[in-house]
Amino acid sequence: MENRKRQAIVLLSGGLDSLLAARLMLDQGIHVEGINFFTGFCVEGHTHAIRRDRKDRAVRNNALHSAEQLGIRLHMIDVIDDYKDVVLNPRHGYGAHLNPCLDCKAFMVGRARSWLEEHGFDFIVTGEVLGQRPMSQRRDTFPVVARESGALDRLVRPLSARLLPPTLPEREGWVDRERLLGLSGRNRKPQIALARAYGFDYAQPAGGCCFLTDENYAHKLRDLWASRGARRYDFDDIMLLKIGRHLRPHPSFKLIIGREEGENRFLEGYRHRFAHLWATEHKGPLVLLQGDANETNLDLACAITARFGQGRSKARVRVAVGEPGGLTRERDVTPLPAHALAAEWYL
Amino acid sequence: MDLDARYLLCPMPVIRVSSVIGRMAAGDTLTVHCTDPGALHDIPAWCRLEGHEVVETRTEPSGDIVIVIRAGG
Ligand code: SF4
């Protein structure tokens, strides 16, 4: 029993730090598996969530790519429902936008701890670096994550371990503390040099690991709550906030306008839930209407739909209006003139 | 067995596949229907890690992506 190979679960985000943290553990002969939590807000650059013309975006899921480079298993876990409480009621508040980073870290490490107990693993590893992020990666917040997650001293941060009190795996000699690192701060040169030494191909930091750090996304989420008069969301809400142009021409309704074929196709999946519009004789977007589909709102929505299609310069454009999952009516409308498209409608 | 993962954005198709395949016997096949082209990369990558075999990948005239997986041991 004493000499058995120790097992660690690594929170693999797809970024460089967790990739290196996992690798440092593999170097010490630890059995490592990855865990990745899908909150619904994760940035996945290779999906319809990002337009096809954004060629700079990755073409793959970064966590899967990390696991492939490490040659380890990856457990991808849907935490969408449980994560709501983290977003809606963060004990430690938000960062710059709607990102509850400290609560989020504690939540994820806590879920990793439950997984570890269920699977008989020995400890948890993260790629956190002391002083790297203003909210969740500070000397005073590291213990908060360890405590609130219940991971306590079974939580190892190999990239900064030498600057932190020894954890159980270090004290027990499962992990050699001398071979861990003492990185701190926002300078990423040491990580980049290590990545090069290991020959890793990794995702460039894209601002944050989730849409909650994105100003525009946070604005759209706040607008959703305001329009409902309640801070709540479901899975489809937060997916749709990633897709298309969002316009609120009136407090009682909002339009989601596909920007290209892939987005239109994605939006098609919501035709059973929302009134939807499209031009029948010209190429253009599929438009979802969320909110009150009364005649006045539909008139404006039709004119906007025509505006965003290739018939925008025509005198009349035929627009179809589908009821949620039901009947379709067609009407001929005048495309909304460019000057009538108010800047403040854009979310 | 069939799995409808249409209109789900990545990585949800992989998450759905992993929960279904975990309950299947080795050698059984799972046919996954998706619309997110990201699945074309993610599902085979995940299968490589977990030892499942992708036996067929095709795009239907409707644009739906179909991936057939044989469960590993
Ligand atoms: S950026 Fe998003 S995923 Fe990352 S710690 Fe903050 S809230 Fe969590």
pLDDT higher than threshold 80 for residue A285: yes
pLDDT, greater one: A282 or A325: A282
Measured between CA atoms, how close is B35 to chain A, in angstroms?
8
Q: CATH no. for residue A29? A: 3.40.50.620
Q: Which of B8, B34, B49, B52 has the highest number of chain A CBs within 10 A, making it the mutation to test binding with A?
A: B49
The tens digit of pLDDT for each residue in A114-165 reads: 999 999 999 999 999 999 877 777 888 999 999 999 999 999 999 999 999 9
Handedness of CA A54, A136, A216, A48 (dihedral sign): positive
Q: CATH no. for residue B8? A: 3.30.110.40
pLDDT more than 90, % of chain A: 79
- Together in a domain, A197 and A279: no
Q: ∠ CA(A235), CA(A241), CA(A242), 5° rounding?
A: 100
Neighbours of A219 (CB within 10 A): 15
Contact A4, A55 (CB under 8 A): no
- Together in a domain, A89 and A208: yes
Average pLDDT (B52-69) is: 94
Contact A324, A275 (CB under 8 A): yes
Total tally of structural domains belonging to chain B: 1
**What pLDDT score was predicted for residue A202?**
84
- Residues framing ligand 1 (Cβ under 6 A): A 99-101, 104-105, 136, 208-210, 212-213
Centre of ligand 1 from the C-alpha of residue A98, in Å: 9
Q: Which of A257, A295, A294 is nearest to A278 (CA)?
A: A257
The tens digit of pLDDT for each residue in A180-193 reads: 999 999 899 999 99
Reported as a pLDDT band with limits 50, 70 and 90, residue A32 is: very high
Q: Any residues with CB less than 8 A from the CB of B13 and at least 6 apart, and which?
A: B5, B32, B34, B36, B39, B42, B43
Which residues of chain A have a CB within 8 Å of the CB of B37?
Answer: 46-48, 262
**What pLDDT score was predicted for residue A50?**
47
Reported as a pLDDT band with limits 50, 70 and 90, residue A265 is: confident
| Residue A282 within any structural domain of the chain | yes
Containing H/E element for A123?
Answer: strand A123-125
| Residue A287 within any structural domain of the chain | yes
**B35 touching A, CB under 8 A?**
yes
pLDDT higher than threshold 50 for residue A60: yes
pLDDT more than 70, % of chain A: 93
Total tally of structural domains belonging to chain A: 2
First and final C-alpha spacing in chain B: 17
In whole angstroms, what is the distance from residue A268 CA to residue A260 CA? 12
Q: What does DSSP say about strands A31-38 and A74-78: parallel, antiparallel, or unpaired?
A: parallel
Report the mean per-residue pLDDT for chain A. 91
Return the residue whose CA atom lies nearest to atom 4 of ligand 1: A209
**What pLDDT score was predicted for residue A319?**
97
